[in-house]
Structure 1
Amino acid sequence: MGNMMKHRLFWPLTFLGALLLFNLLYSPDFFSIKMRDGHLYGSLIDILNFGSPLIIVAIGMTLVIAGSKGVDLSVGSVVAISGAISCLSISTGGGQIVDVLAAVGISLLVAVVLGLWNGFLVASVGIQPIIATLILMVSGRGVAQLITNGQIITVSNDHYKFIGAGSLATLPFSIFIVAAVFAIAYLLTRKTALGLFIESVGCKPTASQLAGVKSKTVILFVYMFCSLCAAIAGLILSSNVSSADGNNAGLWVELDAILAVVIGGTSLNGGRFYLAGTLIGALIIQTLTTTIYMIGVPPEITLVVKAFVVLIVCLIQSEAFRKSIAFRWKTRHYPAEREVKQHA
């Protein structure tokens, strides 16, 4: 049991299970899944569906944190820009599947360029990641509003709506997008040398560069991949509601993504990263959000409750915090041992 508790996924999985158990006790039909019109419906399906954008952004954020010892604060703006470009392109185009594919392609390409810009500022100019991405976080939101002309662009296109609201094999299509992104990230980082390069650059960038690793190229890649993930999330969000809102789309998603990465066990100091942990962390945040809405927490204190619970998760997951609590408990119940240690 002790070895199991030391596993990096033990505490995230335990807390996720506790959340699901609480929901089951509060609402006995929480785990029920029904089939209607050839589609599966239920709370668990909703958690996977509505949590898809966050999971995808968190996957990209994991590589940025691991490879650059920094965060990408611009992912929310990239989400808004991606949705704005795609919806504007579709609304002004013919609405055929070719037009939708072109709009999606343009959005993804622009996102890669934005990621390249972030990576350039960090790797070549030497700006701190939090400052470099803060630039795009602020300006990108303005760019999204310029694209939409400050209005909400609505589109009515079944091909585009399928991305975020369609179903495949009775499941929401967004779940398959998450599976594809996760599989690509896993194969690139665990089945090739890229993952080792990311971890080495995140741990010791100078040493890895002396060893022959092109650290600048690695940093450019992680920021480009993160922006690409944000763009995919933006496509899912905008297609799900058939509209683009440059002001509110992807708002604060960067904070949830960072929390998901941290809950999943990846250190903000860079180096080793855990994609499976990030996946669980994002599911915890989405399940927590669902729980808060289900039990009827007033909207004005929703964020406070969410922050408090996330703090508890992070503290429980911290090995140093657990050791401190265990030591305090032991010295309180076994004072003789404390006196022996003090005299020693």
Structure 2
Amino acid sequence: MTGQSDGIKGVLKRQYVWGIVAIILLLAVNVAKDASYLSIGYNASNGALVGNVIDILRAAAPVMMIALGMCLVVATSGIDLSVGSVMVVAGAASMELLAGAGNTPGAALTALALALGISVVLGLVNGVLVSVVGLQPFISTLVMMLAGRGVAKVITSGQNTAATNDTFRWIANGYVLGLPVVFVFAVLIVVLLGLLVRRSALGLMIEAIGMDPAAARLAGVNRRGMLLAVYAISGLTAGIAGVFATASVMTVDISRTGDQMEMDAILAVVIGGTSLAGGKFNLTGATIGALLIATLDKTVVFLGISSSATPAFKAIVIVVLCLLQSQRVRQLFVRRRTISRPAPLVKEVAA
């Protein structure tokens, strides 16, 4: 029994477990309103699985992408407020190219390469401002956050741009084995990035920079190179998210694409157990946090909560979840259980 108890306590100490619990509770609320909420159907015409759960998986893909990059940046004691703007720049570049190109796979691949290339460059600009110029990450990425939408307006001449390309649309709206392609791509990227940072020394070096930059430098860690790499990865994942968001409707909305996505990314990272103080990161937790945010957004719509009250509803859920994750709150519950438990009786044994 003691071993099982210790095992349960060990699981509960993993903060992302509470994210899983929150997802289950939100789904339970939806099921209470509609018993068929979790039902999954099959569309024989395109071989796709359909249902609310599938919609949640599709909506979670862009959030998963920006949360991955944000997770690595936060691990270095940094922050990236520009991910939403990078998303709209990537979408603007791809839509502007496709608007003047033919409906061919080659045009789609060119647009994808252009979008991701520009995103990496923007991420490298953030990295240079932080590691070379020496600006605070908050200031550097805030500048890029404000400038990014301006760049997108320059690319599209200030207009929302639409295009037609079946291959590019398939990236966000296609299906593989019944699952949305966009979610399959997102999971593959999570796995590949996880292998990269955990099966090599890259993850340890990133954490070392966040824990103690001076000690990391003495240990031979190239802080400048690591920061450039981390911000480039953040830009790349934000660009992928921008492609996902834009390809789903084949239109880039300069004002709304990527709007406030940096907040969702930060929330997903925190929910997943990554400390904003840096030094540690958890890609699995960030992924679960992204799924939670997508589930929460869908729940808000399903319950018919007014748009004006939506931010307050999300804030309440996030605050409760963060309280459950708090070490101090958990210790308080443990202390109360210990006090309420009666002391064992000691029997005197006669000599």
| TM interval, short-chain normalised | over 0.9
Which of these residues, 84, 90, 98, is aligned with residue 82 of structure 1? 90
Q: Secondary structure at the match of 2:42?
A: strand
Query: Which residue of structure 1 aligns with residue 344 of structure 2?
Result: none
Which of these residues, 232, 238, 241, is aligned with residue 246 of structure 2? 238
Q: Partners in 1 of 2:24 and 2:283 — Cα distance?
A: 19
Q: Partners in 2 of 1:20 and 1:226 — Cα distance?
A: 30
Query: Which residue of structure 1 aligns with residue 55 of structure 2?
Result: 46
Q: Partners in 1 of 2:14 and 2:160 — Cα distance?
A: 46
Pairwise CA distance, 1:324 = 3.9
Q: Partners in 1 of 2:174 and 2:20 — Cα distance?
A: 29
Identity %: 40
Which of these residues, 42, 45, 57, is aligned with residue 35 of structure 1? 42
Pairwise CA distance, 1:323 = 2.4
Q: Partners in 1 of 2:15 and 2:93 — Cα distance?
A: 39
Q: Deviations over 1:208-261 (max 9, x none)?
A: 011101011111111000110000011111110111112210000000000000
Pairwise CA distance, 1:60 = 0.8
Query: Which residue of structure 2 aligns with residue 11 of structure 1?
Result: 18
Q: Secondary structure at the match of 2:308?
A: helix
Q: Deviations over 1:298-341 (max 9, x none)?
A: 1111111111111111111111233245557877x79xxxxxxx
Which of these residues, 275, 291, 303, is aligned with residue 295 of structure 1? 303
Pairwise CA distance, 1:6 = 2.2
1:148·1:245 contact (CA, 8 Å) conserved in 2? Answer: no
Structure 2 counterpart of 1:119, one-letter code: G
1:175 partnered with 2:188: no
Q: Partners in 2 of 1:130 and 1:139 — Cα distance?
A: 14
2:14·2:273 contact (CA, 8 Å) conserved in 1? Answer: no
Q: Partners in 2 of 1:166 and 1:9 — Cα distance?
A: 30
Query: Which residue of structure 2 aligns with residue 161 of structure 1?
Result: 169
Q: Partners in 2 of 1:261 and 1:155 — Cα distance?
A: 33
Which of these residues, 201, 204, 212, is aligned with residue 209 of structure 2? 201
Provide structure 2 residue ranges, at least 5 long, that are not aligned to the other structure: 1-7, 342-351
Query: What is the aligned-residue RMSD (CA, Å)?
Result: 1.7
1:252 partnered with 2:233: no
Which of these residues, 60, 68, 88, is aligned with residue 69 of structure 2? 60
Query: Which residue of structure 2 aligns with residue 184 of structure 1?
Result: 192
Change in Cα spacing, 1:186 to 1:244, as seen in structure 2 (3 Å) is same
1:72 partnered with 2:80: yes
Q: Partners in 1 of 2:177 and 2:267 — Cα distance?
A: 32
Q: Partners in 1 of 2:234 and 2:10 — Cα distance?
A: 34
Aligned length: 333
2:42·2:49 contact (CA, 8 Å) conserved in 1? Answer: yes
Q: How does 1:263-274 map to 2 (within 5 A)?
A: 263-274=271-282
Report which of the two has the higher share of helix.
Answer: 1
Pairwise CA distance, 1:29 = 0.8
Q: Deviations over 1:77-121 (max 9, x none)?
A: 000000000000011122321111111101111111111000011
Query: Which residue of structure 2 aligns with residue 147 of structure 1?
Result: 155
Structure 1 counterpart of 2:57, one-letter code: L
Structure 1 counterpart of 2:31, one-letter code: L
Pairwise CA distance, 1:156 = 1.6
Query: Which residue of structure 1 aligns with residue 224 of structure 2?
Result: 216
Structure 2 counterpart of 1:28, one-letter code: A
Provide structure 1 residue ranges, at least 5 long, that are not aligned to the other structure: 335-344
Query: Which residue of structure 2 aligns with residue 101 of structure 1?
Result: 109
Q: Partners in 2 of 1:219 and 1:258 — Cα distance?
A: 18
Q: Partners in 2 of 1:325 and 1:309 — Cα distance?
A: 20
2:63·2:261 contact (CA, 8 Å) conserved in 1? Answer: yes
Q: Partners in 1 of 2:230 and 2:155 — Cα distance?
A: 26
Q: Partners in 2 of 1:326 and 1:132 — Cα distance?
A: 43
Pairwise CA distance, 1:15 = 1.7
Q: Partners in 1 of 2:254 and 2:232 — Cα distance?
A: 21
